[in-house]
Each structure stands twice: as structure tokens, then as C-alpha cells.
Structure 1
Amino acid sequence: MSADLSPSDNAKLAAAKRAVEFIEAGMRVGLGTGSTAFWMVKCLGERVREEGLNIVGVPTSSRTAAQAREEGIEIVTLDEARWLDLTIDGADEFDPEMNLIKGGGGAHLQEKIVATASDRMIVIADPSKAVDHLGTFPLPVEVIPFGREATRALIERSLREQDVWARDVTLRMSGDAPFVTDEGNHIFDLSLRRIGDPRELSLMLNQVPGVVENGLFIDICDCVIIGHGDGRAETRERGPRVLHAEADNVFADLGD
């Protein structure tokens, strides 16, 4: 299956294969979006067909939903699933604390909702995604179309107080028109080069009127699986994630 693939795709496939080994029968699984998540959905589809693996998936974009259907994976909405056992997704960057930048494909809003509604998030990536400090990859910020330029100005003003190395704010385009997310919103890509305090920046951005969500994933990822071009895969774990004081699953007391 991997003989004709590029080293980059071999690395993504290696990480995807390792990640889907964590999926067990009966699980509710968040399905990420992007070039690496594509391989994960493909590998999961193979397990469903060849092993009869009984799982349901919650896709994070219309693209992933279409692929999952083609692979024979049963999909449901997050509202139907309510809470997930596991989410597997890619990342544009991850730092030593496993904080992430996501959203290169424009799906970070749904990806963040799904990931935080999961007991565990596994990120699959190739070695190029590992960085000492986030910020080399432009940070996506999803905004509503109404008052978009006012929102841009507020973001630019707020960035003056942040520990970043650059402050360029660019509207993401699709041809001659603004890129439109699955929710009908637009995206500003923030070229910051280096983010000194990702947590503070994330909180600041989400306070700006017009901002829907940003692509910083802080304290959400539990494990990173790094695939290599020779087919190897290494796993890096971090400590337990604490989302809620009494129970991670906010629906735990409601029954199935």
C-alpha cells in the first residue's frame, strides 16, 4: 500500500496506522480533517471492512464526512453521539507541551468542538510539524462576515500587546473570493512567526467581537504519534487532561 507513496505520505500513513490501533469496538470516534487525517479515515475504513469493527464516527468537516461514507464508516452528528471516546486528528504545528496550531484546512472550529468533547485526543503528524515554539505556521482565526474589517482592526490592535514576533493579518482567499468555512464564516491568517504565550493569545483573540474561534489548541491533545518516511511511528504522551472538576464527560449523569 505504501510502495508508491512519497516519504511524506509514508510518514502520514505510518502515524495513521498506529493511531487507529487505539480504536476499539463500540467506540464513538471523532474524525479529523486534513491530509494526515485522510490517511487515518482510510485506515479506519479498512478495519471496518476487514475486521467488522463496530464503531461510529463524528466527522469534523463536510470533506471528512464524505470520505467516511465512502469508506463504509457509520457517521453520526456530535449531538447524536453527545460524548466521544477518542478523537484522532492532524495538526499544523505542535510544541513540546503538545499545544497545537490547527486550521490550515479551515475546519478548526468543528475540530476544536469535537476534540474537547472527547475523553482523549490523539494527534497524528510527520516530524516537520514539531516546533520549539508555535507561530511559524500562520494562526487561523475564524470570524463572522458581518463587520469583518472592524474585527480585523480589533485583532491588529490587540496583537500590539502580545508577545509575538510579527503581526500580519491576512484574509484567507479561495480564488478571487474569501474562503468560506462549513459554518459560512471567513478566516484571518495571523503570521506571527513566534508566539510567546499561546494561552494568553488564545484568550485574547476569543474576546474580540466577531471572532468565532482561533486555531490554538491548548491542553487538548493527550498524545502525538509521529510517523516517519521509513514506516516507523513514535508515540509521545502527556499527563492526564482535566476538563471538569467532577467528570470529564459532561453527559455522564444523563445516561445513554
Structure 2
Amino acid sequence: MASLSFISSSHLTLRAPSSIIRTRSHSVSFSIKSQSTALSQDDLKKLAAEKAVQSIKPGMVLGLGTGSTAAFAVSQIGKLLSSGSLHDIVGIPTSKRTEDQARSLGIPLATLDTHPRIDLAIDGADEVDPNLDLVKGRGGALLREKMVEAVAERFIVVADETKLVEGLGGSGLAMPVEVVKFCWEFNLVRLRDLFREFGCEAKLRVGEGGEVYVTDNSNFIVDLYFKEPLKDGVAAGREIGKFEGVVEHGLFLGMATSVIIAGKNGVEVLNK
């Protein structure tokens, strides 16, 4: 198991022991040959989403993810319901945005209060590492996504090949942390200092108009940017969660049961 050593009360170092290398085998259960015409990123996302939707059966309770890739899956579910190819399903949306889309397509909706068991959740990811661990939440829905996907019997992630990383944080893009509004800057500084060794920058998320971004849960998001990948996501998530005022983080560890990756060579399904 990876070790964690504190440098000071506000700074830690996360190290993976050199004597232990963890690997997992993944099976490829589906593939298609690449098209003669180059596919756009949206085309790839749509391919992956439509493959995931093939796993839906009548009678299922579904977790409906948030983001551009998940939107393709929700759209496909709506088409299947409309055509009569799918019936007797209930969806639990992970954001107001997804709820609005699902309602417009006639997808029956519920909440965890009435349906605490979910058969299948489908969502995108911002990063996918070789262990099928994820960074999620750049769309701002990480709290509701984690609540829904944590109770799913199966969690299928759909993504294009640009989301693949060797280690979480390795893309150099945001790893979000949802925090309460009260003393948000205090927690921003603490989060930045926690990952100082990884060259971490911490920024309060703002919208396109320069206004502070507010989540569906009326919280703020602090985005963490790493210059090098995290060596131990479990330890990182544990330490983030110790800060009072932190609501949730975007490390989704050990949750995905399958990841569908669409790329220039086709579509691959990686299973744990």
C-alpha cells in the first residue's frame, strides 16, 4: 500500500513504494474498425455513448450522468423510448441540466429518496487512468454524480481517447473540489498547500462572464491543477476530505466497472 508522510501540519507527500507495482488486466469485449473518414471528438463521444446504452434493459433504474458525452447517452435513451425499443425504465439525473434534457425527451425520472438502488449508471469522465480510476466534475456536477454512481450496481464510463492518462492529474487540466461558500479562500489555500510538492495551482472556478461558478448545491468549486500526476489517489482523496468545508472531490476511485473508449482505431470496452 502506498505510504503517506507529512512534511508539516499543512503539507504532505504522497509516495508509492518502488517495490510494489499494481497492475490490473482489462478485457476488450467490443471493437469496431476505424472509419475511412476522420471522426470528430463529438463523433467519438457519440459512438461510446451509444455502445453504453446497449447495456440498458427494460425495468432498470438508471443513473444519468452530466456533461457532453453523457448527453449523447441521454439523447439515445430518449430515442429508444420514443421508438418503443425501450420501456419501463426510470432515470435519476445527476444535475439540473441533465434533468431538463431527460424531461424534454420524456424519460421518467426519480430520485435516490425513492429509488436508492441503481442498476446501471452511465457517465463521462475527464481523466481515466490504467486502473480505470477517474477524475470527474469539470462540468460541475461531481457531488450528485458521486452520490448516484456510488450506489450503482454497474457504472459504465464513456469517453474519447483524449481522456486517457498514465496517472490522475496527468492531463494538467482541472481536478475539482466542491467547497462551501463560507471561507472558500481559506480552503483554497489549504488545498494548494496540501499538494505543493506536485506544483499544484488552485483557482476558484468562474463562469464565462467572469462570475463565480455556483453548483446545483449552491457551493463553489476550487479547481486544482497539477504539474505532475498524483502518485496515490486514495491518499489524496482521504486528505482532501479531512478539510472542514470541503463537500466532495473529483477523484472517483474504484467505482467504474467498465470504460468505453472511442478513438481513431475504433471503440474498446475495458472491464474490471
TM-score, normalising length: structure 2? 0.82
Q: Which residue of 1 aligns with 2:160?
A: 126
Deviation at 1:52, TM superposition (A): 4.1
**Comparing 173-182 and 108-117, the one that deviates more:** 173-182
Q: Residue 8 of structure 1 aligns to which amino acid in structure 2?
A: Q
Distance 1:156 1:227 in 2: 34
Distance 2:244 2:156 in 1: 31
Q: Which residue of 2 aligns with 1:13?
A: 46
Which residue of the other structure, out of 226, 234, 255, is the alignment partner of 2:261? 226
SS at match of 1:78: coil
Deviation at 1:26, TM superposition (A): 0.3
Q: Which residue of 1 aligns with 2:245?
A: 210
Higher strand share: 2
Deviation at 1:9, TM superposition (A): 1.1
Q: Which residue of 1 aligns with 2:71?
A: 38
Structure 1, unmatched stretches of 5+, are: 239-256
Cα deviation code 1:87-146 (max 9, x no counterpart): 000000000000000011000110001000111100000011111111123210000000
Q: Which residue of 2 aligns with 1:188?
A: 222
Cα RMSD over matched residues?
1.6
SS at match of 1:212: strand
Distance 1:146 1:5 in 2: 48
Does the CA-based 8 Å contact 1:86-1:120 persist in structure 2? yes
**1:9 and 1:229, CA in 2 relative to 1: closer, same or farther beyond 3 A?**
farther
Distance 2:210 2:46 in 1: 34
Q: Which residue of 1 aligns with 2:195?
A: 159
Q: Which residue of 2 aligns with 1:246?
A: none
SS at match of 2:148: helix
Which residue of the other structure, out of 92, 98, 107, is the alignment partner of 2:126? 92
* Percent identity between the two aligned chains: 40
Which residues in structure 2 correspond to 1:47-62 (within 5 Å)?
47-50=80-83, 51-62=85-96
Runs of 4+ displaced beyond 4 Å: none
Deviation at 1:227, TM superposition (A): 1.9
Higher helix share: 1
Deviation at 1:156, TM superposition (A): 2.4
Distance 1:40 1:107 in 2: 17
Count of aligned pairs between the two proteins: 231
Does the CA-based 8 Å contact 2:57-2:86 persist in structure 1? no
Distance 1:229 1:27 in 2: 32
**Comparing 116-125 and 221-230, the one that deviates more:** 221-230
TM-score, normalising length: structure 1? 0.87
Q: Which residue of 1 aligns with 2:178?
A: 142
Does the CA-based 8 Å contact 2:189-2:202 persist in structure 1? no
